[in-house]
Amino acid sequence: MKGNESVELVLLEKEELNSSYQQGDFVAVPNTKTKFFRTFLPWQLIRFLWINIRMMVMILKSHH
């Protein structure tokens, strides 16, 4: 703020405040399947290996 500018705070009614939120304003909550795969060690190992293979292929292609 510059100089002597003032800010006016406006209190909204509860209904107005709740209606101002939209569907995209909230964080997505993981479902049961997602939670399972995030904690399932064999799946994490497979993903780790797959990502490393993809990186190695990319590196090998760049060193032609």
Q: Could you write out the DSSP letters of every residue in the chain?
A: --TT------PPPHHHHHHT--GGGSPPPP-HHHHHHHH-HHHHHHHHHHHHHHHHHHHHHHT-
Read off the pTM. 0.52
pLDDT, residue 6, reads 79
Residue extents of the structural domains in the chain = 14-62
- Positive or negative, the Cα torsion across 34, 36, 39, 42? negative
pLDDT (tens digit per residue) in 7-60: 777 776 776 666 666 666 778 889 999 999 999 999 999 999 999 999 999 999
Cα-based angle 58, 61, 62 (whole degrees, multiple of 5): 90
